[in-house]
């Protein structure tokens, strides 16, 4: 086997794809443009950098679709997922990590792999020879973006997400705030007290909403069309939709009791989650924003407990580049017009670290099989990976295609289960049980048992 696999982009998807292919005996070259060419969001030259939140979201593999994706990735020996588990921080039911240690470990592991070479360069065209995976993410460099648009003949689509701010822990007033995970979730005391909570009275809340609505916001760049992805709405956009929206979203007070005044129920609560292993940084959960920097400081300091907050990083808006995959990619994630080229990660129209890495896992395995003259067994549609890849390569409506998080709505319905809210628990368990069986069979068809570390029942 002499053919190399070229992977463009060493983020979540590219790093995972490289690991999967290299472990199948394929020689891999990762072309990563950082640090020579940067993006506005990446801050290091490391592989697998987390550009915003330090969370891989829910780790519940029985009742949550992203938790199920975690389970499947661990079973398939995912580099991203096993490294995340190795650098996990207490965060209730979520899989949050120390971001520095995480990306350093991903970088070290790939650099040490005998089949992997890392080349620091920007790739600006789609070669017509060789096997390539493009995993260049939401911030694909403009030159490459143009080249993709030329080859695909389709316009790039752009929309905006927003970054949540990070606060220095020692600037938070713990005489006002308290530590608790919602519903005290978690096995250990650390887990049960993973979040810092800032309480608001009704008057605090109303004043906060007024300030949020009045704050200066960043304007869109010329030629950019605004269209937010619903899972990542900026808080000011939520507030514009209704004064109570935030109180039913990231500021909901349920499952929390103010340790300082247990008899007094807060009207709203702002939560902060640990952002590094040292516990010196906390991010404000769900507080993505496109307010201007000066306005952010003023508005966030209205939150009781954050009146003296010092910010390690303020929020911001960002671009997202993604393909109309249902029309452009085949079931093997290859560009129909150039089958020597695959795409993986967020650029294929999935959304999130986990989903992006999962699409890297599939693309890496598909490319490795092709180079070895084999075909990877069809990814089972009942697995979380299968539900997602099926959605982007054909299941989704091409005309209205928008980036997608993994969710049970992408799964084929189950027979004999109750619908509605009442049947939800049983239904979700049914989806995850079925997915695990399908995924285990798929791995077995490739001669693998579940890798060590896959969550047990
Ligand atoms: C500002 C911002 C905040 C986000 N916040 C979150 C969040 O909180 N949670 C979440 O789950 N997801 C978040 N996302 C989405 C997140 O980017 C993706 O979920 C995930 O990082 C995508 O993985 P990826 O591998 O597709 O892209 P990336 O991880 O971005 O990796 C792409 C890599 O390709 C490189 N590259 C780009 N163009 C070229 C080129 N021409 N040549 C060579 N290399 C190139 C880049 O430098 C980068 O390293 C955010 C995205 C952005 C932009």
The model's pLDDT over 170-197, given as tens digits with 9 standing for 90+, comes to: 899 999 999 999 999 998 999 999 999 9
State which of 19, 40, 138, 151 you would mutate to test the pocket of ligand 1, scoring each by most atoms of that ligand within 8 A of its C-beta: 138
Distance 106 CA to ligand 1 centre (A): 15
Which atom of ligand 1 lies closest to the CA of 15? Answer: 25
Q: Give the Cα separation of 248 and 209 in Å (integer).
A: 13
Q: Give the Cα separation of 348 and 342 in Å (integer).
A: 10
286 and 255 in one domain?
yes
Residue 450 lies in a domain: no
Nearest CA to ligand 1 atom 14: 352
For the chain, give the percent of residues with pLDDT over 70: 90
Number of domains in the chain: 2
The verdict on whether residue 9 carries a ligand-binding annotation is yes
Q: Give the Cα separation of 169 and 194 in Å (integer).
A: 13
Whether residue 104 is predicted with pLDDT greater than 70 in this model: the reply is yes
The verdict on whether residue 10 carries a ligand-binding annotation is yes
Whether residue 31 is predicted with pLDDT greater than 50 in this model: the reply is yes
Whether residue 72 is predicted with pLDDT greater than 80 in this model: the reply is yes
pLDDT of res. 456 = 46
Domain that holds residue 262: 162-319
| Cα→Cα distances 298→7, 96, 208, 211, 327, Å | 43, 28, 10, 9, 46
Residue 452 lies in a domain: no
Question: Residue written as tokens 């319905």?
Answer: 413
Whether residue 229 is predicted with pLDDT greater than 60 in this model: the reply is no
SS3 state at 41: coil
Q: Give the Cα separation of 221 and 387 in Å (integer).
A: 35
Distance 11 CA to ligand 1 centre (A): 6
103 and 131 in one domain?
yes
Whether residue 241 is predicted with pLDDT greater than 70 in this model: the reply is yes
pLDDT of res. 157 = 47
Average pLDDT over residues 373-384: 95
pLDDT of res. 412 = 86
311 and 193 in one domain?
yes
Residues 167 and 312 sit within 8 Å (Cβ to Cβ): yes
Distance 138 CA to ligand 1 centre (A): 5
Higher pLDDT, 281 or 85: 85
pLDDT digits (tens, 9 = 90+) for 110-149: 999 999 999 999 999 999 999 999 999 999 998 998 899 8
The confidence band for 158, taking pLDDT boundaries of 50, 70 and 90, is: very low
- CATH code, 193: 2.40.30.260
Structure tokens at 361: 């896992």
State which of 10, 11, 143 you would mutate to test the pocket of ligand 1, scoring each by most atoms of that ligand within 8 A of its C-beta: 11
Distance 432 CA to ligand 1 centre (A): 28
Distance 456 CA to ligand 1 centre (A): 31
305 and 431 in one domain?
no
Sign of torsion over alpha carbons 7, 10, 13, 16: positive
80 and 29 in one domain?
yes
Whether residue 56 is predicted with pLDDT greater than 60 in this model: the reply is yes
Average pLDDT over residues 73-94: 96
| 177, HSE (Cβ side, Cα atoms, 13 Å) | 29
> Ligand 1 pocket: which residues have CB below 6 Å?
8-14, 31-34, 39, 41-42, 51-53, 122-123, 135-141, 144, 161, 163, 318, 345-347, 352-353, 356
Residue 453 lies in a domain: no
351 and 297 in one domain?
no
144 and 87 in one domain?
yes
Residue 451 lies in a domain: no
Whether residue 160 is predicted with pLDDT greater than 60 in this model: the reply is no
Higher pLDDT, 207 or 391: 207
Sign of torsion over alpha carbons 440, 445, 449, 454: negative
140 and 85 in one domain?
yes
> Which of 319, 337, 358 delimits the end of a domain?
319
Which atom of ligand 1 lies closest to the CA of 124? Answer: 41
Residue 454 lies in a domain: no
Residues 275 and 54 sit within 8 Å (Cβ to Cβ): yes
Residue 331 lies in a domain: yes
Highest mean pLDDT among 103-107, 156-160, 292-296: 103-107
Average of per-residue pLDDT values in the chain: 90
> Which of 287, 303, 319 delimits the end of a domain?
319
pLDDT of res. 222 = 42
Residue 224 lies in a domain: yes
pLDDT digits (tens, 9 = 90+) for 251-280: 999 999 999 999 999 999 999 998 777 777
- Gyration radius of the chain's alpha carbons: 22
170 and 135 in one domain?
no
Residue 338, exposed/middle/buried by CB under 10 A (0-12, 13-18, 19+)? middle
> Which of 319, 338, 368 delimits the end of a domain?
319
- CATH code, 30: 3.50.50.60
Whether residue 454 is predicted with pLDDT greater than 90 in this model: the reply is no
440 and 351 in one domain?
yes
pLDDT digits (tens, 9 = 90+) for 298-345: 999 999 999 999 887 788 766 778 898 989 999 999 999 899 999 999
Structure tokens at 352: 């999130």
173 and 146 in one domain?
no
232 and 276 in one domain?
yes
pLDDT digits (tens, 9 = 90+) for 401-442: 667 788 888 888 888 777 666 788 999 999 999 999 999 999
Residue 128 lies in a domain: yes
Average pLDDT over residues 70-75: 98
Nearest CA to ligand 1 atom 11: 352
Q: Give the Cα separation of 112 and 86 in Å (integer).
A: 18
């Amino acid at each position: 086997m002499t053919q190399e696999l070229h992977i463009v982009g060493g983020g979540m998807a590219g790093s995972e794809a490289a690991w999967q292919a290299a472990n199948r005996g394929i020689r891999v070259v990762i072309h990563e443009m950082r640090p020579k060419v940067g993006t506005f969001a990446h801050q290091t030259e490391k592989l697998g950098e987390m550009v915003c939140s330090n969370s891989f979201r829910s780790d519940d593999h029985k009742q949550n679709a992203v938790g199920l994706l975690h389970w499947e990735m661990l079973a398939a020996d995912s580099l991203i997922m096993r490294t995340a588990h190795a650098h996990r921080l207490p965060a209730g039911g979520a899989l949050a990590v120390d971001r520095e240690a995480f990306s350093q470990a991903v970088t070290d592991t790939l650099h040490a792999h005998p089949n992997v070479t890392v080349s620091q360069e920007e790739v600006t065209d789609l070669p017509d020879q060789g096997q390539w995976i493009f995993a260049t993410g939401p911030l694909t460099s403009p030159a490459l973006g143009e080249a993709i648009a030329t080859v695909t003949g389709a316009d790039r689509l752009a929309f905006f997400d927003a970054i949540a701010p990070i606060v220095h822990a020692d600037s938070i007033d713990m005489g006002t705030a308290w530590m608790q995970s919602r519903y005290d979730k978690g096995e250990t005391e650390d887990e049960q007290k993973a979040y810092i909570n800032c309480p608001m009275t009704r008057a605090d809340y109303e004043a906060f909403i007024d300030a949020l609505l009045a704050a200066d916001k960043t304007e869109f760049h010329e030629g950019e069309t605004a269209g937010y992805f619903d899972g990542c709405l900026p808080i000011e956009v939520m507030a514009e939709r209704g004064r109570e929206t935030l109180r039913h979203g990231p500021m909901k007070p349920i499952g929390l009791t103010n340790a300082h005044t247990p008899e007094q129920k807060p009207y709203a609560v702002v939560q902060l989650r640990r952002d590094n292993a040292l516990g010196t940084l906390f991010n404000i959960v769900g507080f993505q924003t496109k307010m201007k920097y000066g306005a952010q400081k003023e508005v966030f300091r209205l939150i009781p407990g954050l009146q003296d907050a010092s910010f390690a990083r303020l929020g911001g808006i960002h671009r997202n580049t993604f393909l109309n995959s249902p029309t452009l990619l085949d079931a093997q994630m290859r560009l129909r017009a150039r089958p020597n080229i695959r795409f993986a990660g967020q650029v294929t129209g999935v959304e999130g670290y986990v989903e992006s890495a999962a699409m890297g896992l599939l693309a890496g395995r598909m490319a490795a099989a092709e180079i070895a003259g084999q075909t990877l067994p069809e990814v089972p549609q009942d697995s979380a990976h299968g539900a997602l890849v099926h959605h982007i390569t054909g299941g989704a409506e091409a005309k209205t295609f928008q980036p997608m998080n993994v969710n049970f709505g992408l799964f084929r319905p189950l027979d004999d289960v109750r619908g509605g809210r009442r049947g939800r628990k049983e239904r979700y368990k049914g989806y995850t049980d079925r997915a695990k069986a399908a995924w285990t069979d798929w791995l077995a068809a490739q001669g693998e048992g579940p890798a060590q570390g896959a969550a047990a029942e």
